[in-house]
Chains A and B, each alone.
Chain A
Amino acid sequence: MEVHSQVIQLLFSGLTIGSIYALIAIGFVIIYNVTGVLNLAQGEFAMFGALISISLINAGLPLWAAVIFSMLIVSVIGALFERTAIHPARKSSVPTLIIITIGCSIAFRGIAILIWGTQPQSLQPFTDNTPIKFLNAVLLPQSIWSIGIAILILFAMIYFFNKTFVGKALTACVVNPFAARLMGINPEKMSLLAISASAGLGALAGIVTSPISGASYDMGMMLGLKAFVAAVVGGLTNAPAAIAGAFVIGILESFTEGLWSSGAKDVVSFSMLLLILFIKPEGLFAKASGKRV
């Protein structure tokens, strides 16, 4: 019975971590597929989202308004990032683009230090955080929020990419940018849209995670890298696969932390990255046929 409840407990905390990675990983995959850029600054959007929402709440805004405004602000930051850093270099080689996103990522961290300082900040849980007993395990409502939001976003993404015009235009750019251009879709506009939307999603991830693990200027790097690991493990070309990858990494980390040591969880997830890169570089859940968002 003891072991049973511990397993459920670890599973839940894994799902919670996984859902946050998933939100960032979706953005990662969208940007990668639409623009071909491996955006290593993705985690910094989460950092901005968390810190901006905390500042807005401290300024007296209600939670829902703070969430919406900070997502909008971070989307604008994402758009600026696309226009000033990615767009002028769009004809450069892949390594150059990767390094540009790294440069932006450290610039964002520097900006965050200048604005918010180095002290970690915290956000109140979204709702009353009395633990709920469930199957002998203790569940925090904030975890339910984060898992719920991730699932909601997943369905929203499926709807967006399959049923709306803009979503289909984005998918077209992924499948064949040249043909998309012939059909009157402007891939450059789509790249702007993809990056600012992903930035907004990243911001949401940051807001959801800050009641659980706090918010500080340097939270973005690890979150972004883990989401990146999740995307590679699941499959970079496919959003549902990346989400599955995120949950795999989340659960793997929580079990490593619970059963072994908390220091080992980074080793396990990055070993997973190396293993996947060497054995199955297209990802665990990617379908062999064609690209998909």
Chain B
Amino acid sequence: MEKKDLKKIYHNSPAGPIIFTVLLFLMPVFISSNYIFTIFIMIGFYALVCNGMTMLTGFAGQISLGQATFYGIGAYSSAIVTGTYGLSPWIGMIAGMILGALIALIVGIPTFRLKGHYLALATLGFGIIVYTSFKEMKDLTGGSNGFFGIPTINLFGFEFNNDLRYFYLVWVFVMIGLIFSRNIIHSRIGRALRSIEGSEVASDAVGVNIMNYKLQAFMLSAMFASLSGSLLAHYVTFINPELFGAMTSIYFLLMVIIGGSSSIWGSIVGAATYVLLGEILKQLVPMFLPSAGGEFEIMFFGILLVVTLIYMPNGLYPQFEKLFSKFKKKKEKVQPPLQVGGDRVASGGENQ
């Protein structure tokens, strides 16, 4: 009985995710446009980064303004390991993740000692330092000219050398990442993180090691970003420091906020919204303003971010969920999950 109720609290129904996965992986059967694949591959890269950031922002209550740093560390690790030393891409990927986690640990330890929201400031500063290093360490990274000739990924001789194959590769990683973080969120660690987001003082008082959990969440988010960066490097085969500047970090934060950081599914919603809206704006705005050039679409993103935070602080994903549950309610009357929890608390005395 108790387990059943817990399941209801966690929205544990696997139907939605399974339908989504099946539809996504069947998509290439119906559509075979490289443009669409490219868009979905980009969404996949961003969704991976946002997935890690959601754990950090939505569950540990910390914001990172330097996530592109780890994205870049992953990309450059892969580039150097495979391009310069000719080793396997998988080694590069793992090296990048380990390096990202280590750096997160080094930045995180002094930062989380401080009270308040210093992680935002520290990651902001750190991001710019690393970005400048990518530019200045010319022997290692190729400087502002970029790093050319990163090989494609292969798995037991199978080359991921076209958009269709890469689409599957990226989304398999995204799905593994989602299942991984879903399991973490539904575990003891996830509950501890949620309690930190709710109230640091209260969770400290009940014996949650705040510092450790925040550090773990930060390291995990760094590993996700690094993995995504490695995948990016092998996809585009050419990287330069501009891909990993402060603006990229801001875009990642924007995706997490717009998608909604209270659920890991928000990361996919946010990444998809960002990429699709960007593409639509690039097509639409020049029709009305022929002179528009450069990255004018950031205006709409900025406004969207502010409006989301003021009027929909939980992002877009809960809105989808509401729609979905309305649709469901018509079929069968389901009790709202939170009320189920409330009932149990109220009847706790009688049961004993």
With A98-B63, A106-B302, A261-B136 as known contacts, state yes or no: A267 contacts B129, CB within 8 Å. yes
A278 CA / B124 CA spacing, docked (Å): 14
B122 touches A277 (CB 8 A): yes
With A106-B305, A267-B129 as known contacts, state yes or no: A100 contacts B310, CB within 8 Å. yes
- Residues of A in contact, count (CB < 8 Å): 43
With A109-B299, A113-B295, A277-B111 as known contacts, state yes or no: A103 contacts B128, CB within 8 Å. no
A99 within 8 A of B: yes
B148 within 8 A of A: no
With A104-B302, A266-B132 as known contacts, state yes or no: A110 contacts B297, CB within 8 Å. yes
A274 touches B253 (CB 8 A): no
A109 CA / B246 CA spacing, docked (Å): 14
A264 within 8 A of B: yes
B294 touches A113 (CB 8 A): yes
A270 CA / B128 CA spacing, docked (Å): 7
A113 CA / B292 CA spacing, docked (Å): 8
Contact with B along A250-293 (1 / 0, CB 8 A): 00000000000101101100110110011001000000000000
B347 within 8 A of A: no
A103 touches B299 (CB 8 A): no
A281 CA / B114 CA spacing, docked (Å): 8
From A110, which residue of chain B is reached at the shortest CB distance?
A: B299
A108 touches B302 (CB 8 A): yes
From B143, which residue of chain A is reached at the shortest CB distance?
A: A263
A114 CA / B313 CA spacing, docked (Å): 28
A266 touches B310 (CB 8 A): no
Main SS at interface, chain B: helix
Query: Which chain B residues lie closer than 8 Å to A267 at the CB level?
Result: 129, 132-133, 136
A274 touches B126 (CB 8 A): yes
B296 touches A110 (CB 8 A): yes
With A96-B309, A98-B63 as known contacts, state yes or no: A103 contacts B111, CB within 8 Å. no
A100 CA / B302 CA spacing, docked (Å): 9
Query: Which chain B residues lie closer than 8 Å to A65 at the CB level?
Result: none
A274 touches B125 (CB 8 A): yes
Contact with A along B289-323 (1 / 0, CB 8 A): 10111111111111111100110010000000000
B42 within 8 A of A: no
B135 within 8 A of A: yes
Query: Which chain A residues lie closer than 8 Å to B211 at the CB level?
Result: none
Q: Which of B211-230 contact A (CB under 8 A)?
A: none
Query: Which chain B residues lie closer than 8 Å to A111 at the CB level?
Result: 299
B120 touches A96 (CB 8 A): no
A51 within 8 A of B: no
A94 touches B125 (CB 8 A): no
A277 touches B114 (CB 8 A): yes
Q: Closest approach, in angstroms, between the C-beta of B327 and any C-beta of chain A? A: 31
Query: Which chain A residues lie closer than 8 Å to B297 at the CB level?
Result: 110
A95 CA / B200 CA spacing, docked (Å): 15
With A88-B310, A103-B302, A277-B114 as known contacts, state yes or no: A118 contacts B294, CB within 8 Å. yes
Partner of A263, one of B132, B253, B291, B310: B132
Q: Closest approach, in angstroms, between the C-beta of B67 and any C-beta of chain A? A: 13
Interface size class of B (residues with CB under 8 A): 35 or more
B257 within 8 A of A: yes
Candidate in B110, B132, B309 with the most chain A CB atoms within 10 angstroms:
B309
A114 CA / B292 CA spacing, docked (Å): 6
B128 touches A266 (CB 8 A): yes
Query: Which chain B residues lie closer than 8 Å to A105 at the CB level?
Result: 302
B118 within 8 A of A: yes
Partner of A273, one of B125, B247, B257, B304: B125
A107 within 8 A of B: yes
Partner of A103, one of B63, B118, B295, B306: B306
B250 within 8 A of A: yes
Query: Which chain A residues lie closer than 8 Å to B313 at the CB level?
Result: 92, 96
Partner of B309, one of A89, A117, A232: A89
A225 within 8 A of B: yes
Contact with A along B121-141 (1 / 0, CB 8 A): 110111011001101100000
Query: Which chain A residues lie closer than 8 Å to B132 at the CB level?
Result: 263-264, 266-267
A242 within 8 A of B: no
B186 within 8 A of A: no
**B contacts, CB < 8 Å to A:** 61-63, 65, 110-111, 114, 116-118, 120-122, 124-126, 128-129, 132-133, 135-136, 246-247, 250, 253-254, 257, 289, 291-306, 309-310, 313
Q: What are 22 A-B residue pairs whose CB atoms fall within 8 Å in the complex?
A: A89-B310, A94-B117, A95-B62, A98-B117, A99-B305, A103-B254, A103-B303, A103-B305, A104-B306, A106-B302, A110-B295, A111-B299, A113-B292, A114-B292, A114-B299, A221-B246, A267-B129, A267-B136, A271-B129, A277-B122, A277-B125, A278-B110
